[in-house]
Amino acid sequence: MLNTYSFSKSDFASMLQHVVDLVPDVIFLYNPSDGMLIYHNRRQSALFGKKPLPETPVLLRDLLQPVEAQALDKNDACLQTLQEGEVLEARFRVRSPSGGYQSCLLRQKVFWRDSASGTKLILCLLLEGMDVHLS
């Protein structure tokens, strides 16, 4: 029964932060028009084996720096046509700290769109070690 409790906005925000803290994968919110992260849960250090990023602002490409640029360019092009309700999945091969490669799956969805300007924010979940076939 989800409607049993009444949360204030601050209680709800706190609850969401606890949920995000429990997720072992990278969660972030960004604006594709400028590539800036609005929020990230600072889990990328475990995934990519590098120092945690500072608080925002951070460029998405800085977060995904080990990913091949060609894959990021293809993802950027697909985001231009992403509609509300759709989930865009992109698979990347990331160089691991040991020098090998690991596969990652990036799931992206429109989180918010400004009807006047068309600006949208994208909510993303980056999953590591997914059993995916990468070409």
CATH code for the domain of 57: 3.30.450.20
- Is residue 96 assigned to a domain? yes
Look at the chain and report how many structural domains it folds into: 1
What's the chain's average pLDDT? 75
3-state class (DSSP) for residue 50: coil
pLDDT classification of 135: cutoffs 50, 70, 90? very low
Between CA 1 and CA 46 the distance in angstroms is 35
DSSP conformation letters of 65-128 = TTB-HHHHHHHHHHHTTPPTT-EEEEEEEEE-TTSSEEEEEEEEEEEEE-TTT--EEEEEEEEE
- Is residue 9 assigned to a domain? no
∠ CA 31-11-21 to the nearest 5 degrees? Answer: 60
- Is residue 30 assigned to a domain? yes
Q: Which two tokens stand for residue 3?
A: 């409607």
Give the residue numbers spanning the domain of 35: 26-128
Region of 118 (left: φ > 0; alpha: ψ -120 to 50; beta: rest) is: left
Task: Dump pLDDT digits (tens) for 63-106.
Answer: 676 666 777 788 888 887 888 789 999 887 766 667 777 788 88
Could you tell me if 89 and 95 are in contact, meaning their C-beta atoms sit under 8 angstroms apart? no
- Is residue 94 assigned to a domain? yes
